[in-house]
Chains A and B, each alone.
Chain A
Amino acid sequence: MNEQLSILELITNATVVVQLVMAILVLASVVSWILVFQKAFLLSSVRRMATTFENDFWSGEDLRALFVELDEGEAEVIGLESIFHAGFKEYTRCSQLYGTQVERIMQNVQRAMRVALAREEERLEAALPFLATVGSTSPYIGLFGTVWGIMNSFRGLAMVNQATLSVVAPGISEALVATAIGLFAAIPAVIAYNRFSAQVEIMMNRFETFSEEFSAILNRSIKEN
């Protein structure tokens, strides 16, 4: 063992258990970053689409035309649009069925929008639990690798006659790499989890507000008819 201890050498010289731990952690880190990017893209596109849709919605355009546009469009209907879509679809159906029975129509419309809302929430919150898991467990996994490596390095120390720091130091350093990787995986995951759950909550509030407003508008339009 000379001074040329690169991290790469440390990793390749590590025991199988430590290497396994490192592999798991690297995998967790990669997957969590994939999810982070995916989520960031999804959230930003949902926010952007919600803004444009709200602009369209409050511009005084005919709601039926808006609905037809959504219904026949190619793109997948997500976010605010899907809530509007579900609500309006239910409204047209029920108004044919029940005529002017405001209570029943509104009940069904609200139920349909709640369902759509739940779906959207599910979509936005998908993968957040994984980030939380990576954030909370990967330091422990790394710690396990470290403890195992240090255990081994001390066991090796017991067999050497002449105990010097340079006998144990590489083992400990190699073991500590596991903790480093664990923290490297955990810190971004925790930050991303907190950030995304806050953003999802804001989006959901916005959706709920919109669905209330929309049902009020529908209610009024039924009564006007």
Chain B
Amino acid sequence: MLRSAILPTIFALALHGAVVALLLHNWEQPLPDRVRVEPLYIQASVVNLPKPNVRPSPPKQKPPAQVAQKQQAGKPKKVKPAQAAMTESAQAAEPDQPSDPERTAIEVVTPQPDENDATQALLEADLMRAINAEQGARAAVTDDERAMAYIGQIQRDVIQNWSRPPSARNGMQAILKVFLVPTGEVVEVQIAESSGNAAFDRSAMVAVEKVHRFSVPSESAMFERSFREFTLLFRPEDLRL
């Protein structure tokens, strides 16, 4: 009886071994193909790559780099162009972010350093940036990625707490300036650009105040750079009117 069980046991174990081997082998096959599509990080270099440093002529003559220059030329009405650029970038950068139920856009705009003396400062800054971008590409990538994650979280927090007034219409937009302390608590909210509708502005401010405490990075460098103060764009996109 015992002897007659030896051969079947060997067969059974061999069969199971074969199945396990097959399973493990096949499972790992398709993996290398879809490792890491990195749409997130391309962003950082795109913003840094206007090239006025090649030709030191005044900015008017360079149509291709126009947008970027506007952004850095530090016009008095600086919020808007910078915001536009960052809006695009934020959307491009986060294609995989789960679309929130209300398809509302609240974009977080991190402040750009002020450069009032446009032409000269631009040259040097861009040169430096190009070098830095090349040198510290990896570090920038991870920093940027992590900053993006926090920004996404802030967006979600605000969207969750935002209840729009009935008078809100598509196309309205309000830009809020938010000031945080390093713990992430909101110390001040200002209206940087009103929508023209007081109820709408108020609802946006209430949304930020309701969140009360944002999740922010613990490293002070990143916090100071992007989260000490930032602007929020409120714009309903899913309304019928």
Which residues of A does B touch, CB under 8 Å?
Answer: 3-4, 6-8, 26, 29-31, 33-38, 41-42, 162, 164, 184
Let me know if A8 and B4 touch, CB within 8 A.
Answer: no
Which residues of B does A touch, CB under 8 Å?
Answer: 4-5, 7-9, 11-13, 15-16, 19, 23-24, 27-28, 31, 34-35, 98, 153, 156
A30–B17 CA distance with the chains assembled, in angstroms: 10
A41–B98 CA distance with the chains assembled, in angstroms: 58
Let me know if B7 and A37 touch, CB within 8 A.
Answer: yes
Let me know if B16 and A26 touch, CB within 8 A.
Answer: yes
A215–B105 CA distance with the chains assembled, in angstroms: 93
List of B residues within 8 angstroms of A4 by Cβ = 31
Number of A-B residue pairs at CB separation under 8 A: 45
Let me know if B7 and A33 touch, CB within 8 A.
Answer: no
A3–B34 CA distance with the chains assembled, in angstroms: 9
Across the interface, A37 reaches (CB within 8 A) one of B11, B16, B31, B156, namely: B11
Known: A30-B16, A162-B153. A8 touches B8 (CB 8 A): no
List of A residues within 8 angstroms of B98 by Cβ = 164
List of A residues within 8 angstroms of B11 by Cβ = 33-34, 37
A7–B31 CA distance with the chains assembled, in angstroms: 13
A164–B11 CA distance with the chains assembled, in angstroms: 44
Q: Tell me if B's interface is mostly helix, strand, loop or mixed.
A: helix
Across the interface, B16 reaches (CB within 8 A) one of A8, A29, A42, namely: A29
* Minimal beta-carbon separation of B207 from chain A (angstroms): 18
Let me know if A33 and B31 touch, CB within 8 A.
Answer: no
Let me know if A33 and B16 touch, CB within 8 A.
Answer: yes
List of B residues within 8 angstroms of A31 by Cβ = 12
List of A residues within 8 angstroms of B4 by Cβ = 38, 41-42
Known: A4-B31, A6-B24, A8-B24. A41 touches B16 (CB 8 A): no
List of A residues within 8 angstroms of B5 by Cβ = 34, 38
Which of B12, B19, B23, B98 has the most A CB atoms < 10 Å from its CB?
A: B12
Let me know if B16 and A6 touch, CB within 8 A.
Answer: no
* Minimal beta-carbon separation of A174 from chain B (angstroms): 13
List of A residues within 8 angstroms of B15 by Cβ = 33
List of B residues within 8 angstroms of A30 by Cβ = 12-13, 16
List of B residues within 8 angstroms of A26 by Cβ = 16
A30–B156 CA distance with the chains assembled, in angstroms: 50
List of B residues within 8 angstroms of A37 by Cβ = 7-8, 11-12
Known: A8-B24, A41-B7. A33 touches B34 (CB 8 A): no
Let me know if B27 and A7 touch, CB within 8 A.
Answer: yes
List of B residues within 8 angstroms of A164 by Cβ = 98
List of B residues within 8 angstroms of A34 by Cβ = 5, 8-9, 11-12
Across the interface, A33 reaches (CB within 8 A) one of B12, B27, B28, namely: B12
List of A residues within 8 angstroms of B23 by Cβ = 7
List of B residues within 8 angstroms of A38 by Cβ = 4-5, 8
7 nearest A-B residue pairs (beta carbon): A37-B8, A33-B12, A38-B8, A34-B12, A34-B8, A37-B11, A34-B9
The 23 listed contacts between A and B (C-beta, < 8 Å) are A3-B35, A4-B31, A6-B28, A7-B23, A7-B24, A7-B27, A26-B16, A30-B13, A30-B16, A33-B11, A33-B12, A33-B16, A34-B5, A34-B8, A34-B9, A34-B11, A37-B7, A37-B11, A37-B12, A38-B4, A38-B8, A41-B4, A184-B19
- CB-CB nearest in chain B for A184: B19
Let me know if A35 and B24 touch, CB within 8 A.
Answer: no
Which of B8, B11, B98 has the most A CB atoms < 10 Å from its CB?
A: B8
- CB-CB nearest in chain B for A37: B8
A124–B13 CA distance with the chains assembled, in angstroms: 23
Across the interface, A6 reaches (CB within 8 A) one of B9, B13, B27, B35, namely: B27
